[in-house]
Structure 1
Amino acid sequence: MKIRIPYGKGFLETTISDKRIAGIITSNLDRYETEESENEIIKKAMQHPYGCCRLEKLAKGKNKIVIIASDHTRPVPSRLIIPLMLEEIKRGNPDAEITILIATGCHRETTRNELTEKFGKEIVNKIPIVIHDCDAREQVYLGKLPSGGELFINKMAAEADLLIAEGFIEPHFFAGYSGGRKSVLPGIASRKTVYANHCAEFIADPKAQYGILEGNPIHEDMIFAARKAGLAYIVNVVINSRHKVIGAFAGDAEDAHLKGVQFLEGLCKTDKIISPIVITSNNGFPMDQNIYQSVKGMATAENCCEKGGVIIMAAECREGCGAEGFYKTFSQEKDAGIILEKILSTGRNKTEADQWQSQIFARIVHKFTVILVSAAEPELVRQMHLIPADNLEHALSIADTILGREKKITIIPEGLTSIIRV
C-alpha cells in the first residue's frame, strides 16, 4: 500500500506491506462537498442563528460593539466573516462604535502586515483594531473560575455594550475543541487567568483531550469565562485542509458552538485502532513548523499506540524547536519521567510558560519511543528526547529494530483533524 503523509507544503510517501497495516484513520473534511460558496455558507448561518436572534437585532441600541477576532496563529477566514458581521451590525445600528479586538491569548502581538493579510486593507484602514495584551495593567476582574483561578479579561471587552466573536472549530488536544468560548479564555484573558486554566492538574485530567467537552475542567472554566464576559453571539466556521469553509454556525456562544462541534464530529471522530507502531503528521504547513506544535499530532497518535510502542511523527520543523522554555526543559533533563513528575507537582497558581505543552510531550515520550521525520538538526531532535529520521523508510527501519520486524502499523495521515474516540 502506498502511504501519503502531509509534510511541510507537500507530502512524504512510502510503500508498506498490506499485512502490516492494522488500519488507516482519516478525516472526512476534505471529502465533504457542498455546492454553496463560502460566502453563502456563512450568510445562511447568520440568517438562521442558534439560540438567539439575528445580529442586526442584537446590535440595536448598542453603542460600543466589540468583535473578538482570532490572531495570526489561526487560519480563520476573517476576510469572509468580518465583512458579513459588519454588514449586519450596520443594518441594526448604523451609528454603532465598532472595534475589532485581536484575541492573542499569550501569543506575541499580531503585526500590521498580518492584520492586512487577515482582514484586507479596507477593514484595517476603516475599523479600529486593538491587539489584546495579556500582561496589560488595566484588566477587569470578573470573579473566580470553577477551577479557583481568578478571571481577568480585557478592559475594552468587559466594558462593551455588545461582545461578539468570530472563530473556527477544530479538534483541540486538551480543550476538546477550539472555537466558541475560547475567544474569551484564553483569547482575551490575562496571563494569570490563562495559566490557572492550563495548570498541571487540569492537563492531567483524563477528560482534557481531543473531542471531549463534557466533564473537561479546562472547557468548564472557558464556558464560565465566556458567560461572565457576556459573549452574546459568535460566527464560527469549520474548514478543510485547504482552509476552505465547509460549515458555518452562528448565534448563541454555546448553542452555535455545540452545533459546530456536532458537525465536525460527524466528519472526524472515529474508533481507535491500537498498534505497536503509529505513523502520523501535524497536517503539514503551517502547523508543522516546529517541534513544539508537533506535540498536538503526537497526542492523537498516543491514543492508538500500544504502551512501549513507537510513534513516527512526520513534521518538517523548519523553525526547529519553536519555544525556548520548552527546549530548555527537555535539553537539560534526560529523564522525561522526572520532568513529568516535576510538572505534576507544580501548583495551580505556579504554572509557567508553555508548561502544558511540556507536560503532554513529557507524558508521550515517557510512554513511547517517538521518531521524528523532519528537517530539524539531528542533534536538536535528540536533545528533545526524539530519534531523528531522514524519511519514512528510515523511520520504519528504526522502529523495526526497536520492536522487531512485522509489527502492525496504524496510520493517521492527519493527526490534527482525526479525533480518536476514547
Structure 2
Amino acid sequence: MKTVVFKYGNKEVAIKLPGRAQPLYGTEPPASVGKEKFVSGLDQLIGNQAIRGPVAIIVADKTRLCGYPQVLPWVMETLKKKSINDDQVTFYIAYGTHLPQSEDECLAAYGEVYQKYRFIPHDCTQQDAFVMLGATRQGTQVKVRRDVVESEFILTLGAVSHHYFAGYGGGRKLLFPGLGEKKAIYTNHGLFLDKENARLAQGCWPGNLDGNPLAEDLQEIHEMLPNYRSIHAVLDSKGKPASYHFGKNYDDFLVVCRMLDDCYKIEVEKPFDLLFASAGGFPKDINMIQTHKSLHNAANLVRDGGKLVMFAECRDGIGSTTFLPYFEMGGWDNAFKALADNYTGNGGTALSMMEKTNRINIALVTSLPGDICAKLHVEKQTLEQAACSFNGVTGRIGVVQNSSLLVSDRMSTVS
C-alpha cells in the first residue's frame, strides 16, 4: 500500500491505495517568473507607440487566476514608464456568463491594484454596452463591449488552459466570450451540440482545435476583434504561474497552446478500470461547473463501465442556476432537445455530465449535498468510503493528482 495525497479546496486529503495503482503525471513547465523578465517582455510588447487614449486591461475571474496580485503592479509600473496615466486605465473582469464575485473575492484575486484602479465587472446582459462586429459563418453575432473596442490599447492577461469543449481557454476567450453579449455567447457555445445526430460535437475536446466547430468559430471571431496584445500565463501543477509569454497575434497564442500540450497532454494506451483523481483544489473545485472541467479530463481515462472517484470540495455549490434544471427533464433526449431549441446557461455542461454518467460510474468526495449528487447521478462518498473503492477491483487502477491540468489524447483512451 502507498499513501496518496489529493488536493481538496484549500486542504489536502490522503488515502492509502494499492502499490500497483499507476500515477499519471505531466511535465512541469520551466519556472521563469521574475519582475525584470516580465517588465522587459511587456515593454517590448507595447513598443514605442505613444498611447494617449483609453487603455483596457482584461483579466479573468476567480476561477482562472494566474498570479494577478504579483504581476498587475508590474503592468502598471511598465505603463507609467510609457507615460500612460492612471486615469487612462480601466480593468475589465471577463465574467462571460459567470456569476460576479464579491468585493473580498476581487481583492483576493487582484491584490492592491483592485483598490487603486478602476475595475468594471462585465455584465453580459447589459444590452446597450455592446457593439456588433459582424457575424461568423456559423451564425454567431459577435457583440463585444463598446468601451473596450473603442480603447486605444487593449491588453489581455490570463492563463492558457485546456478547455473541455473549446480546446483551449485563455487568450482570445478573454475578449469573447469573456466580454461578450449573452445571446452571442450562447450561440457560440451551442456549437458544442451536434443537432443532426443528437449528440455532443465530436471535435469538441480538450487540446483539440482541428475539426472543433466551437474553436473554429472562436478563431473566426478573433479575426473580427480589435487589435489587442496578450500576456499568456502557463501554470505549474500547483496552479501557480510558471511563466508568462507575450503575444501580438493568434499564432503567438497557438505557440503557448503547444507548450501546454508538451507539459500536460499524455497518451494512455489502455483506459483504467478505476481512477482516483483530484479536481486540482481551489479554485478548480470552487463549484461544480468548474469541477466538471477536471472531471471531464479524468473521465476520458476511464473505460466504459469503469469507475472514477473524484475529490472536489465545491464550496460554492453548483456555481450556476442554469445547470440543474436539465437533470429534471427526464433524461438525455429531453434535455438535448430543450437545449438544441434554446441554448442557455450551462446546458452544454449538463449534457456533457450526463454523457459521462451514462458511460461510467462516478463517485464524489465533496461538500455538495447528497440530494444534489443523486440528481447528477453520482455517488456522494466520504473519504473513508473512497479509500475502500479499490476493494475487489482486479483491473487497472490509475491516479491523477491534478486533473484540471492533465489531459489525454482522446483517441488513445477509447475502449
Q: TM-score range by the shorter chain?
A: 0.7 to 0.9
Q: Cα offset for 1:87?
A: 3.6
* Structure 2: segments with no counterpart, 5+ residues: 411-415
Residue 185 of structure 1 aligns to a residue whose secondary structure is coil
Output the amino acid matched with 2:172: R
Counting aligned pairs with the same residue, the percent is 21
Output the amino acid matched with 2:229: Y
CA distance in 2, matches of 1:350, 1:232: 32
Q: Which residue of 2 aligns with 1:86?
A: 76
Residue 76 of structure 1 aligns to a residue whose secondary structure is coil
- Counterpart of 1:216 (choices 187, 206, 212) is 212
Q: For 1:22-421, list aligned pairs within 5 A.
A: 23-29=22-28, 32=29, 34=31, 36-46=32-42, 54-57=45-48, 59-94=49-84, 97-121=88-112, 123-138=113-128, 139-199=130-190, 200-201=192-193, 204-272=200-268, 273-330=270-327, 332-333=328-329, 338=331, 340-346=332-338, 350-391=342-383, 394-395=385-386, 397=388, 405-421=393-409
Q: Is the 8 A contact 2:62 2:283 kept in 1?
A: no
Superimposed CA distance per residue, residues 365-415 of structure 1 (whole angstroms, 9 cap, x where no aligned partner) = 111111112233333322321112112x52364565xxx532221222211
Residue 14 of structure 2 aligns to a residue whose secondary structure is strand
Q: Cα offset for 1:47?
A: 5.2
Q: Is the 8 A contact 1:165 1:231 kept in 2?
A: no
Q: Is the 8 A contact 1:41 1:246 kept in 2?
A: no
Q: Is the 8 A contact 1:135 1:190 kept in 2?
A: yes
Could you say if the C-alpha distance between residues 8 and 70 of structure 1 is closer, same or farther in structure 2, counting changes exceeding 3 Å?
A: closer
Residue 63 of structure 2 aligns to a residue whose secondary structure is coil
Q: Cα offset for 1:77?
A: 1.9
Q: Which residue of 2 aligns with 1:51?
A: none
Output the amino acid matched with 1:81: V
Superimposed CA distance per residue, residues 338-372 of structure 1 (whole angstroms, 9 cap, x where no aligned partner) = 2x323433566720111121011011111111111
Q: Cα offset for 1:61?
A: 4.7
Output the amino acid matched with 1:387: E
Output the amino acid matched with 1:14: I
Q: Is the 8 A contact 1:279 1:311 kept in 2?
A: yes
CA distance in 1, matches of 2:326, 2:319: 13
Could you say if the C-alpha distance between residues 358 and 197 of structure 1 is closer, same or farther in structure 2, counting changes exceeding 3 Å?
A: same
Output the amino acid matched with 1:390: T
Which range moves more in the overlay, 188-197 or 317-326?
317-326
Residue 228 of structure 2 aligns to a residue whose secondary structure is strand
Could you say if the C-alpha distance between residues 249 and 354 of structure 1 is closer, same or farther in structure 2, counting changes exceeding 3 Å?
A: same
Q: Cα offset for 1:140?
A: 0.5
Residue 225 of structure 1 aligns to a residue whose secondary structure is helix
Which range moves more in the overlay, 177-186 or 73-82?
73-82
Q: CA RMSD in A?
A: 2.6
Q: Cα offset for 1:241?
A: 4.4
Which range moves more in the overlay, 137-146 or 221-230?
221-230
Superimposed CA distance per residue, residues 109-162 of structure 1 (whole angstroms, 9 cap, x where no aligned partner) = 3444333333333x3454332222101121111111232121111111122222
Could you say if the C-alpha distance between residues 195 and 176 of structure 1 is closer, same or farther in structure 2, counting changes exceeding 3 Å?
A: same
Could you say if the C-alpha distance between residues 289 and 245 of structure 1 is closer, same or farther in structure 2, counting changes exceeding 3 Å?
A: closer
CA distance in 2, matches of 1:287, 1:377: 19
Residue 203 of structure 2 aligns to a residue whose secondary structure is coil
Could you say if the C-alpha distance between residues 408 and 132 of structure 1 is closer, same or farther in structure 2, counting changes exceeding 3 Å?
A: same
TM-score, normalised with respect to structure 1: 0.86
* Structure 1: segments with no counterpart, 5+ residues: 49-53
Output the amino acid matched with 1:256: D
Output the amino acid matched with 2:404: L
Output the amino acid matched with 1:420: S
